[in-house]
Amino acid sequence: SFAQSELLKSLPKQFFASLVDKVGKVIAEGHDVINLGQGNPDQPTPPHIVAALQKAAANPKYHKYSPFRGYSFLKEAVAAFYKREYGVTVNPEKEVAILFGGKAGLVEIPQCLLNPGDVVLVPDPGYPDYWSGVALARAEMAMMPLRAENGFLPDYRELKEDVSKKAKLMFLNYPNNPTGAIATKTFFEETVSFAEKHGICVIHDFAYGAIGFDGQKPISFLQAEGAKEVGIEIYTFSKTYNMAGWRIGFAVGNESVIAAINLLQDHLYVSLFGAIQEAAAVALLGSQQCVHELVSLYESRRNTLVHALREIGWNVTAPAGSFFAWLPVPTGWTSEQFADVLLEKAHVVVAPGIGFGEHGEGYVRVGLLTSEERLQEAAARIAKLNIFQR
């Protein structure tokens, strides 16, 4: 056997791998497990997008290598989508890069912009792939706590001056995984000023951009004045169009960052299967009825879950967006202990907050990715543990 590289060994431990093992054991024992721990959308891709792929897949033009850096028709569709949805003007050739899913972009960008030892501001709790991107660039993380009392937005005044001065890159993500929070325009404007002041590049992860509840449309970072001068936004088809298995997304914004992503990708891959790019353009330009229906479905599930949990005495806050609920752990337990008990005694899987960072402790994350019946069933099983008092 061959030894792993130091780089590979330096990658952060995958906290949720151990959860998958624990869940596997309970399933192997023959229990009916309700898995609310994962983030895998349960709905199929809308049929008109699948049909577009099927048709395009038969076109021999797509059986060859796709053009490097993607088809122009897709980049133009991205520009049209940003104009239509957010009123933001984007240059399709200079300000858009096609990605193999959002995750690829998030992990690649630190390697595009950083040197070993550079500092990256990372939200805590946050999506663990940011940590992987930082580690692969041999850079260092400085955590930005997201606190309930600040609406789970980082408070830049809380950061030490020397950390802000050293930081080269910052990750943000709204609607937020795991907290379900949505950002305000004022917050994004403050972010632009902070980034300008310290010369920081902002990467806004807009994976849940389509999913806002109670009629709230989540705003794009690029809607903040000057945002394109200081950063980019990463968008993915995975959540908005239930295309998680298709592996396609894009980056939009700062021209120099887009050029850097394109340059790195020239060394890593030729562009994705052209038929997928064609279907993705259909998703962006076609009817958005499927997106409205999806948001209503998640909202209805959210309402059911929140209602059912409050009924059993669990005092939870309803998420404003994303498809996650961020629920407080009762006093006396760590998030991991609590998740273990729910798994072992109620056969309900939730993701312990500590897996998203130190400031995730005290919470568990629940996905709205199963039917309302199953969400109610999960609440009923938890009620039987007599942890909560009505």
Residues that bind ligand PLP (CB under 6 A): 39, 101-103, 127, 173, 177, 205, 207, 236, 238, 244, 249
Cα 371 from Cα 300, distance rounded (Å): 10
Tell me the closest approach of the beta carbon of residue 274 to ligand PLP, in angstroms.
19
What span, in angstroms and rounded, lies between the C-alpha atoms of 335 and 354?
6
For residue 227, the surrounding DSSP H or E stretch is helix 227-230
Residue in this structure with the two tokens 């952060």, named with its chain if needed: 12
* Nearer CB in complex with ligand PLP: 308/368: 368
- HSE, side-chain direction, 13 A CA sphere, residue 270: 7
Q: Tokens representing 339? A: 């998740």
Q: Which is nearer to ligand PLP, 103 or 301 (CB)?
A: 103
Largest CA distance in the chain: 64
Measure the CA–CA gap between 235 and 208, rounded to whole angstroms.
8
Minimal distance in Å, beta carbon 369 to ligand PLP? 11
Residue 3: CB minimum distance to ligand PLP, A: 30
Residue number, 95 or 205, with CB nearest to ligand PLP: 205
Q: How far is the CB of 120 from ligand PLP (least distance, A)?
A: 16
Residue whose tokens read 């295309």: 243
| C-alpha–C-alpha distance, residues 327 and 308, integer Å | 13
Q: How far is the CB of 177 from ligand PLP (least distance, A)?
A: 4
C-beta closer to ligand PLP: residue 117 or 245: 245
Q: How far is the CB of 31 from ligand PLP (least distance, A)?
A: 26
In the numeric block, which tokens belong to residue 226? 């000057």
Q: What is the amino acid identity at position 68?
A: F
What CA–CA distance (Å, rounded) separates 379 from 388? Answer: 11
Q: Which is nearer to ligand PLP, 44 or 87 (CB)?
A: 44
In the bound state with ligand PLP, the residue whose beta carbon lies nearer, of 132 and 304, is 132
